[in-house]
Chains A and B, each alone.
Chain A
Amino acid sequence: MSMQRRNKLRVTQSLLSSWLYVFKKDDGYESFLKTLNREKIPVTQAMLDGTRYENCLNNILKGEPLPMDHEWHDPLLEMAVELQGSSQQVVIFRDTVVDGQPILLHGVLDYLREGHIWDCKFSKTYHLNKYLDSPQTAMYLSLVPEAFDFTYIISDGKYVYREKYPREIVPPIEPTIKLFIDFLKKHDLYKIFEEKWRVNN
């Protein structure tokens, strides 16, 4: 194994999102420490609903019929039409370097087709520009440099909403990772990052 690979650290959008919650939520720091330490996060009802919605959508995209009386019939149908023919659950890695530190960007795209990326969200409390400051946008556009745009396709169970981010309005992810690393160093957490997020882990 090369020295560079041994030193390479993995960064995911979930890790960065968890870090950004430190500044937004009262319990954000404790929650971030759990993510940084790769502890299992308790599954919430919202997460279960999201998984169930996405499973329904993926089954329809694979050709399963959508019953007329399905509780989410209309939004599922609208999304299925838009996402037809896309590749699902596309795992992507990309190397980058931040402040001299080799980083492996890692993400799983919900849907990819013809230069467009979609991420499916199920949110009963969706509001306009909910994902404006999500690091997922910049992270996924960095993972797929040939993509034109990234769209959050969201349902609240009744309607479908979209937040579309063209590449030209999204800054690169590296400056965010730099701030993240600076934060870890300032709070004596960098060693945990090195230990828990090394690529061979």
Chain B
Amino acid sequence: MAIVAPSNMNFSDKNIIMIISGLPGTGKTTLALSAPDVLLIDTDEGMARVNPAHRKDASVCKTYEEILADIKAAEGHYKTIVIDTCGALIEYMKDWAMRTDPKASKANGGFSLQGYGVIKSEFIRLSAELRKKFNVIYLFHENMTKNDDSLFYELVVEGSTRTLVYQPADLAGHLFIDHSKRYIGFTPTEQYSAKSAYGIRGIIEIPELKDGDANDFLTKLFAKVRKNLETQAQTVAPQKSQYEEVMASVREFVGNIEKPEDVIPCLKALKGLPHALTSEKEGQAAVKARIAELGIVYDKATKTYVYAEEK
């Protein structure tokens, strides 16, 4: 085990899980290939649509087991795995679940409800496993659906897994084209799902790739995430350490409350502490919980704390 203080934390090798979603033709695969040292798991023939100048290594598989084997072989050779598309990956997983887990098949041969449980668990396992060794980019096609008068861009993936695939992601961006320019939105809106974190938010324009330009948008974005994490950790570190100290005093003061007369001195002592982050509010909550536990209440008439039965 290695205990590291926030001020010494190093995020330079933090792996990032990201979702990129967009309508067909918005350039999801090309954008994903701008991440560092990519291996593309091409379940959607996405590479064929990429400008040859920006193509990277790709794995073309027929089964989920082959995908896992290629990912295993990629360890140490690539920094980023792109799953193109995640909707197709789920289909591969369904096929794998039906072949390997009897629960996944209905008697009539269809995919069972329990089968979705199997692929949900496998998706969570795969994401956790991948994150240990790679950045991971899950690509999703989107559909436009009409909800009352407004449009919503929905991920193309089995309904019940749609919610789950978002969970391991650090970032999720909706890719769209407006007046011939490409943008990616990281703040969720009523029109699309997205996920903002580590200071990456709002809508960011993706520069047009001209001949000879390096395709490195995500390489730069991931570097920015790591830089933001480091800055954030350094800024918050002194507050966190002060918070820990204050909370130790809070626990001591609150633990000393045994009878009604102890409450006001404790509150005064809490007020005098050099509070940090949310320690003051947590201290007040701790006093409240402690006096409730002891059956102590505030008597407005005498402005003192008394046992409830005495009031």
Contacts and interface: CB of A to CB of B under 8 A. Distances in A.
Given A87-B286, A129-B188, A113 B193 contact: no
Given A126-B163, A128-B163, A132-B190, A158 B282 contact: no
Interface residues of A, number: 29
B126 interface: no
A115 B279 CA distance: 8
A161 B164 contact: yes
A89 B292 CA distance: 13
Interface stretch (A26-34, A45-53, A162-170): A162-170
A112 B285 CA distance: 10
Interface in A40-96: 87-92
Contacts of A39: none
A183 interface: no
A164 B278 contact: no
Interface in B217-247: 236, 239-240, 243
A112 B162 contact: no
A22 interface: no
B201 A158 contact: no
Contacts of B265: none
Interface in B87-124: 117, 120
A23 B211 CA distance: 50
B291 to A, nearest CB: 13
Nearest to B192: A129
Interface in B183-211: 187-190, 193, 195-197, 199, 201-202
A127 B164 CA distance: 9
Interface of B: 117, 120, 162-164, 166-167, 187-190, 193, 195-197, 199, 201-202, 236, 239-240, 243, 277-278, 281-282, 284-286, 288-289
Given A113-B278, A132-B190, 19 more contacts: A87-B281, A87-B282, A87-B285, A88-B285, A90-B282, A112-B281, A112-B282, A112-B285, A114-B243, A114-B277, A115-B236, A115-B243, A115-B278, A132-B188, A161-B163, A166-B196, A166-B197, A166-B201, A169-B201
